[in-house]
């Protein structure tokens, strides 16, 4: 037996390293923190909002699982004060519970973002957070954040 202090991982039934050993004695957590678990690609159609008018844009989000494990995933999108997810501009945060994403799988989402009469000309920052969960949506393993800008003219 080697005395180098390295831990050998036992393969799971499917041949992969089990992500659920994170709370056991094995040091799986550091493996999850080395690389980002998700890739977030965004696109806005139309390209900009109209200022001081009721207008909307559609945000297309492509979320890719970069891990070799099946993971429970959610996406949280936050808007600034003058934008929202409804026509009245009341809802500023939206959580989308995607469910289980397989390894190397990609999911496409579509979200409408609304501006109103109080949306002045300028740039507005939208925050997207992809969250990897353990067991249920109350336990978080890792997260990836992305900020993007929507212009109002």
Burial label for 97, CB within 10 Å (0-12, 13-18, 19+), is exposed
User: pTM for the full model?
Assistant: 0.78
pLDDT digits (tens, 9 = 90+) for 21-58: 555 545 555 555 678 999 999 999 999 999 999 999 99
pLDDT digits (tens, 9 = 90+) for 71-113: 999 999 999 999 999 999 899 999 999 999 999 999 999 999 9
């Amino acid at each position: 037996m080697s005395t180098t202090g390295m831990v050998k991982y036992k393969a799971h039934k499917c041949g992969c390293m089990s992500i659920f050993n994170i709370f056991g004695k094995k040091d799986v957590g550091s493996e999850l923190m080395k690389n980002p678990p998700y890739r977030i690609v965004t696109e806005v159609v139309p390209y900009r909002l109209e200022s001081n008018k009721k207008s909307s844009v559609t945000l297309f989000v492509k979320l890719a699982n970069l891990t070799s494990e099946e993971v429970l995933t959610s996406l949280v999108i936050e808007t600034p004060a003058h934008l929202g997810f409804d026509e009245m501009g009341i809802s500023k945060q939206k959580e989308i519970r995607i469910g289980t994403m397989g390894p190397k799988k990609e999911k496409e989402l579509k979200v409408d973002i609304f501006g109103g009469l109080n949306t002045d000309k300028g740039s507005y920052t939208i925050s997207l957070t992809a969250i990897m969960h353990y067991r249920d949506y109350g336990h978080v393993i890792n997260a990836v954040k992305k900020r993007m800008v929507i212009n109002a003219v």
